Amino acid sequence: MTKLLAALAAFAVLIGLWQAIILLTDVPFFILPSPLAVAETLWRQRDLLLAHGATTLIEIAAGLLLGTLLGIATAVLLASTTRLRRLVLPLVIASQAIPVFAVAPLLVMWLGYGMASKIAMACVIIFFPVTVALADGIARLEPGLADLARVMTGGVQRPGGRWRLLRHLYGPAALPALGSGLRIAAAVAPIGAVVGEWVGSAGGLGWLMLHANARAKIDLMFAALIVLAALALLLYLGVDRLMRRATPWAQSSDPATLTDS
C-alpha cells in the first residue's frame, strides 16, 4: 500500500508540473496539450486506443517470450564451454551494436508489414539483457559448490550429468540474475514493437502516434503514449511479481527491503 501511495503521489506531482508548465509558459496546444485535454481524449478515443493497444501488447508479449527463450538458450550455450563463449559472445555483442532504426526496415522488408516484423524487433532488443544477465548469473556460481555437486552426483561423465547440474544447481542459482535481465527486458520491450510500427505497419500504438502527429492531433499522440507507458508498467510489474515468487530466497537482498529497514 505504501508503494502504491508513493507511486500515485509521484504521478500527481508529474501532472502538477505538466500543468504548471502550461500555465507559466502559455505553450500552444499543438505543442503541449493540457492534462485535462489528454484525459478527455483518452476517454473519448478509448475504443481506438484499446484496439491499437491490444495489437501492440500482443507484439510485445510475443517478442518478450521469444526473446527470453532465445536469450536463455544462448546463455546456456555461452556457459557450456569457453570455446563456444569465445565464438558466440562477439556475435551477441554485435547484434546490439547495430541501431534499432537500421534493423527495423530490414525486418519489415523480410517479414512484411504484419506482426511478425514487430515481434522480431522486440525479440532483438529483449534478447541481449536476458542473455547477458543469465550468463553472468551462471558464471558467478561459487566453484566450490559446483565441485561438491559433481562429487555427490558422480561427476558430469554420467549420462545427463551436465543437464542435472544445470537444472538443479546452476539454474536456480542464476534465477535472481535472470530476473534482473527479464525486468530490463520488460521495460525496453515496447521500444522494439513501436519502432517496427513506425517503420511500417497497419496498426498499433506506434502507427497511431505517427498518424496523430502527422495530423497535428497532439492530444491523441499523448494519449497513445500514456497507454503505451501503462502497458510497459503493467508488463514490468507482472514480470517482477513472477520473479519474486520464483526466487523467494533472493528477496532478503532487495535494496528496497534494506532501505525500508
- Hey, what's the cell of 101? 532504426
* pTM for the whole structure: 0.82
For residue 239, what are the contacts with CB-CB under 8 A and spacing of at least 6? 179, 182, 183, 185, 186
Domain edges within the chain: 38-247
Residue 151 pLDDT: 54
Check: CB of residue 113 under 8 Å from CB of residue 201: yes
Residue 66 pLDDT: 95
Residue 55 pLDDT: 94
Residue 223 pLDDT: 94
Q: How many Cα atoms within 13 Å fall on the side-chain side of residue 4?
A: 1
Sites in the chain below the pLDDT cut of 70: 1, 3-4, 142-168, 251-261
Tell me if the domain spanning 38-247 has CATH number 3.30.2080.10.
no
- Residues 156-203 pLDDT 10s: 445 455 666 666 677 777 888 999 999 999 988 898 889 989 888 878
Cell 528496497: give the residue.
256
- CA separation for the pair 16, 35 (Å, rounded): 9
- Hey, what's the cell of 259? 532501505
